[in-house]
Amino acid sequence: MISRALVAVLLMMNLGVAAWWLWGPGPQQPFARDAAIPGIPVLQLLTERETSTVPVPALSATTNAEPAAMAVESEALVAGVSTEPAQASAPADTDAAEAISTEVAAAEAEPGSRAVSAGDAEPAVPPAPQQCYSIGPFAALDDAGRISALIESALQRQQVREVRSSEVRGYRVYLPAFPTRQEAMDAARMLQEKGLRDYYVVTAGEQENTVSLGLFRDLANAESRREQVRGFGFEPRLEPRLQELTRWWLDIAVAANDDTWRQQATRYPGTRIENLACG
């Protein structure tokens, strides 16, 4: 029932549209906007615009002649400005070149003139006088290094020198070697009878069959023992005891008028300062 009603409604609507198209009013024609309304510009298509040509006036002979004359005058003015300074500067350049060549020739003719003037401007400063010394002897190399560090501010030159030498370490008094050990023992027994107790018989080595009468540090004590044994009827000998030693010396060069270093240089006992030729 409902579907039939819908079909009927649709049919009636289609019939109404068809009647509108058949008997209804026609479409309205477009019309242009009124141009008389102030403040609203008129719309104009490009195709509706009319092209206009602007007439170009012909140039007369007088008008063409004036720019040409002005161009000629300008070229002449430029040429005059550019050529006159070149002609005027040519003599000046020639004079400058001649002056330079004259100075070069004068310098070549007198080559020693500038050297003399330079020597006069910077005279040579004579070196300060020096005095050289040798400090030592030092029992150890480190001792020499410590003294060098203490007086380093006053030194102009320094060098450590090693010296090997034999030094006297004492004195030995003895009776020379006997032909046999028995004779050496008999001599020792005689010394004992005289009241001498400080002795002994050497039984081996380079000093075999000698009778030692004592080792002394001081020479005076060694000589006293020798004279005592002589009084017993013997001829003892006295010899120094030598020892090979290595010592170091510090050779320095200081200013001749500088003595500030001397007190520090002799801090170690037994060291001394000796004059040394500066080489």
pLDDT for 35-93, tens place per residue? 455 666 666 666 666 554 444 444 444 444 444 445 444 444 344 444 444 444 444 44
**Nearest Cα residue to 258 out of 161, 137, 132:** 132
259 Rama class: left (phi>0) / alpha (psi -120 to 50) / beta: alpha
Quick check: is 7 in a domain?
no
| Dihedral-angle region of residue 173 (phi above 0 means left; psi in -120 to 50 means alpha; beta otherwise) | beta
What pLDDT does residue 2 have?
77
Residue 251 bridge partners (DSSP): 134, 159
In a domain, 220, yes or no: yes
Residue 64's pLDDT is 47
84 domain-assigned? no
Distance (Å) of CA 177 to CA 37, 133, 222, 228, 239: 165, 48, 19, 19, 14
Arithmetic mean of pLDDT, 6-31: 77
**Helices of type H across 110-232:** 112-121, 141-150, 181-193, 219-230
What's the pLDDT at 252?
95
Instruction: Name which residue leads in pLDDT, 223 or 54.
Output: 223
Q: Six-digit token pair at 118?
A: 């330079």
- Is the pLDDT at 3 greater than 50? The verdict is yes
The letter for the amino acid at 72 is: V
* Cβ neighbours for 220, distance < 8 A, ≥ 6 positions apart: none
Which segment of 27-31, 212-216, 252-256 scores lowest on mean pLDDT?
Answer: 27-31
Task: pLDDT band for 19, please (50, 70, 90 cuts).
Answer: confident
Mean pLDDT of the chain: 76
- Tell me, yes or no, whether 59 lies in a domain: no
Taking the complete model, does pTM exceed 0.75, yes or no? no
Backbone angles phi, psi at 156, to 5 degrees: -105, -25
In a domain, 111, yes or no: no
Residue 236 lies in a domain: yes
The pLDDT confidence band at residue 4, using thresholds 50, 70 and 90, is: confident
pLDDT of residue 7: 86
> Which tokens is 213 given?
């009468």
Residue 6 or residue 223, greater confidence: 223
CA atoms within 13 A of residue 54's CA, in its CB half-sphere: 1
Residue 87 Cα to chain centre, angstroms: 58
Instruction: Flag whether 225 is in a domain.
Output: yes
Residue 233 CB partners (closer than 8 Å, separation 6+): none
Task: Indicate if the pLDDT at residue 166 is higher than 70.
Answer: yes
Residue 17, pLDDT score = 83
**CATH no. for residue 155?**
3.30.70.1070
Any domain includes 34: no
| d(C-alpha 144, C-alpha 137), whole Å | 9
Q: Residue 118, Cα to own-chain centre: how many angstroms?
A: 31
Task: Dump the DSSP string for 18-84.
Answer: HHHHHHSPPPPPP-PPPTTSTT-PPP--TTTSPP--PPPPPPPHHHHHHHHHHHHHHHHHHHHHHHH
Average pLDDT on 210-235 reads 93
Number of domains into which the chain is organized: 1
Domain around 216: 131-276
Q: What confidence tens digit (pLDDT) does each residue in 190-222 have? A: 999 988 888 889 989 888 999 999 999 999 999
Give the sign of the dihedral formed by CA 134, CA 137, CA 140, CA 146: negative
